[in-house]
A and B are shown apart, each in its own frame.
Chain A
Amino acid sequence: MATYATNEFRAGLKVLLEADPCSIIENEFVKPGKGQAFNRVKFRNLKTGRVWERTFKSGETIEAADVMEAEMEYLYSDGQFWHFMKTDGSYEQVEAGDAAVAEARDWLKEQDTFTVTLWNGDPISVTPPNFVDLEVAETDPGLRGDTAQGATKPATLSTGATVKVPLFVNIGDVLRIDTRTGEYVSRVKS
């Protein structure tokens, strides 16, 4: 089993901590002038997204986690699992559960490409692209006369997500959404 020593720690390194795959966010070398050296390390648990800090004695080792990211196309959901297929030409498919899909669920449109994080080959998280284009499934009719700046109304998208949109948006419009904030960016000509 591969391991990493504290002097190999750097941001982005994937390691196993308390049996969960984690990514190192920050590694700080700490040494009192007259004391021994430590590494204070900030991790993100790749399964839960939770961030925590641990201190290691310099020279300690931790196990490497077999974690990789793959670009995958979203195929369909069978009600229990979300199915993705690798875009590298291998057509290899994986099924992601609730916990892995998590917040990405709001943006899953068939045939769009997502970043899937695999641990020992199993998907543990799905990251949408920063921007997705989705069709409006439901919203109140557009009010042509209302030009009030900044006025919004709710709209339900084809994926089921609800976002705030300007009053001129109509059912059938395709909208660009910033997945990091869940906010409307613009209307896309289709």
Chain B
Amino acid sequence: MTSDGPCWEPSCDIKALNVRARMLRITRRFFEERDVLEVQMPVLSRHAVTDPAIECIRTRDGRFLQPSPEYHMKRLLAAGAPSIFSIGPVFRADEAGRWHNTEFTMLEWYRIGFGADDLMRELAALIDALIGPSDYERRTFAGLIALDINHATTDELDLAIADAVARLRDKRVFVTGYPARQAALARISKGVADRFELVINGIEVANGYHELTDVEELARRLTADNLARCERDRPVRDIDRAFLAAHARGLPDCAGVAVGFDRLVALKVGARAVADVMPFPDDRA
């Protein structure tokens, strides 16, 4: 008999859980061999990110579930930590779909002294270890879309790149050279953001930056984020003073990348959705 109540069973099979556990072990071994320290960052914080495309979930006491460990990890780096990695749950409101779940697992790491190229090489080595080796192509943002990246609107660019990325099936592609206005927290060099994304079989798997270290530029970007939030009728977010103070003290020259771990597990087992590799996705948790 079926009932109308919520389904109690997990949505993925035990095989997927085994694959996930093995991939976690490989990841930890990978970083141990490279002397990258594992750190556990808070899930709950006084601050939300200003990023206009990311909405944090607010708790009853006015704090926020973190959409990435970035702010705290950079504060650690500014305080003299060595290269670090974190793997754990993050939360993003209003993101639900085949490749999205409100709560998901993010692997994020920062390498002191690395540029974007170094980090892309290391990311490729980890991906090879996790889901099997393959070739990696390099494509520029401007080369993927038919629009002029300096004149199209942000909406037009978002839509064009989302469609272009979805067409990169059956391959692994590093997309580089993001428009300066989509730099987020990456440096800008030669007019484009020193930022990359890794797309595997049309799915965005990772997003990396040669990190911005200039505190004044950072303050301008966070303020511009809030302006963009106003234009989109989204709540303005208080700027995290501790995050700024860490940059004033000095973030070392570094590159960092965030990987959607559930998507990687899905790619490994050939699943059609992240829900197929999570025991309790949004509709069952």
Residues of A within 8 A of B (CB): 28-38, 40, 55, 57-58
Q: Can you spell out 14 A-B residue pairs with CB atoms less than 8 angstroms apart?
A: A29-B98, A29-B100, A30-B97, A30-B162, A32-B158, A32-B197, A33-B197, A33-B207, A34-B53, A34-B54, A34-B184, A35-B53, A38-B158, A38-B159
The interface residues of chain B lying within 8 Å CB-to-CB of A29 are 95-100
Classify the secondary structure of B's interface with A: mixed
Is the CB–CB distance between A31 and B166 below 8 Å? no
Q: How far, in angstroms, from A28 to B161 measured CA to CA in the complex?
A: 16
Q: How far, in angstroms, from A37 to B96 measured CA to CA in the complex?
A: 10
Is the CB–CB distance between B166 and A30 below 8 Å? yes
Min C-beta distance of B119 to chain A, whole Å: 16
In the complex, whether B155 has a CB less than 8 A from a CB of chain A is: yes
Q: How far, in angstroms, from A37 to B158 measured CA to CA in the complex?
A: 9
Q: How far, in angstroms, from A172 to B155 measured CA to CA in the complex?
A: 65
The interface residues of chain A lying within 8 Å CB-to-CB of B162 are 30-32, 35, 38, 55
The interface residues of chain B lying within 8 Å CB-to-CB of A30 are 97, 162, 166
Report which of B95, B161, B166, B184 forms a contact with A40, defined as CB distance below 8 A.
Answer: B166
Residues of B in contact (CB 8 Å), total 26
The interface residues of chain B lying within 8 Å CB-to-CB of A35 are 53, 157-158, 161-162, 182
In the complex, whether B51 has a CB less than 8 A from a CB of chain A is: yes
Report which of A32, A57, A58 forms a contact with B161, defined as CB distance below 8 A.
Answer: A32
Q: Mark B39-81, 1 if CB is under 8 A from A, else 0.
A: 0000000000001011000000000000000000000000000
- Tell me the nearest residue of chain B to A29, going by C-beta: B97
From 133 to 169 in chain B, residues with beta carbon under 8 angstroms from any chain A beta carbon are 154-155, 157-159, 161-163, 165-166
Q: How far, in angstroms, from A128 to B182 measured CA to CA in the complex?
A: 53
Min C-beta distance of B229 to chain A, whole Å: 12
With A29-B100, A34-B184 already in contact, the answer to whether A55 and B207 are too (CB < 8 A) is: no
Q: How far, in angstroms, from A35 to B100 measured CA to CA in the complex?
A: 14
In the complex, whether B117 has a CB less than 8 A from a CB of chain A is: no
The interface residues of chain B lying within 8 Å CB-to-CB of A40 are 166
Is the CB–CB distance between A36 and B184 below 8 Å? no
Min C-beta distance of A56 to chain B, whole Å: 10
From 93 to 109 in chain B, residues with beta carbon under 8 angstroms from any chain A beta carbon are 94-100
- Tell me the nearest residue of chain B to A53, going by C-beta: B163
The interface residues of chain A lying within 8 Å CB-to-CB of B94 are 37, 58
In the complex, whether B204 has a CB less than 8 A from a CB of chain A is: yes
The interface residues of chain B lying within 8 Å CB-to-CB of A38 are 158-159, 162
Min C-beta distance of A24 to chain B, whole Å: 14
Q: How far, in angstroms, from A58 to B53 measured CA to CA in the complex?
A: 12
Q: How far, in angstroms, from A29 to B53 measured CA to CA in the complex?
A: 14
Is the CB–CB distance between B165 and A36 below 8 Å? no
With A29-B96, A31-B95, A37-B94 already in contact, the answer to whether A55 and B53 are too (CB < 8 A) is: no
The interface residues of chain B lying within 8 Å CB-to-CB of A55 are 159, 162-163
- Tell me the nearest residue of chain B to A57, going by C-beta: B155
**What are the 4 tightest A-B residue pairs by CB atom distance, in nearest-first order?**
A29-B97, A35-B158, A33-B207, A36-B158
From 162 to 184 in chain B, residues with beta carbon under 8 angstroms from any chain A beta carbon are 162-163, 165-166, 182, 184
The interface residues of chain A lying within 8 Å CB-to-CB of B157 are 35
The interface residues of chain A lying within 8 Å CB-to-CB of B159 are 38, 55, 57
With A38-B159, A55-B159, A57-B155 already in contact, the answer to whether A32 and B165 are too (CB < 8 A) is: yes
The interface residues of chain B lying within 8 Å CB-to-CB of A34 are 51, 53-54, 182, 184, 207
Report which of B100, B154, B155, B182 forms a contact with A31, defined as CB distance below 8 A.
Answer: B100
Q: How far, in angstroms, from A36 to B155 measured CA to CA in the complex?
A: 7
Q: How far, in angstroms, from A18 to B54 measured CA to CA in the complex?
A: 32
- Tell me the nearest residue of chain B to A56, going by C-beta: B159
Q: How far, in angstroms, from A57 to B157 measured CA to CA in the complex?
A: 12
Q: How far, in angstroms, from A154 to B13 measured CA to CA in the complex?
A: 49
The interface residues of chain B lying within 8 Å CB-to-CB of A36 are 53, 154-155, 158
Min C-beta distance of A18 to chain B, whole Å: 19
Q: How far, in angstroms, from A33 to B100 measured CA to CA in the complex?
A: 10
Min C-beta distance of A59 to chain B, whole Å: 10
Most central of A30, A33, A35 by chain B CB within 10 Å:
A33
- Tell me the nearest residue of chain B to A34, going by C-beta: B184
Min C-beta distance of A69 to chain B, whole Å: 24
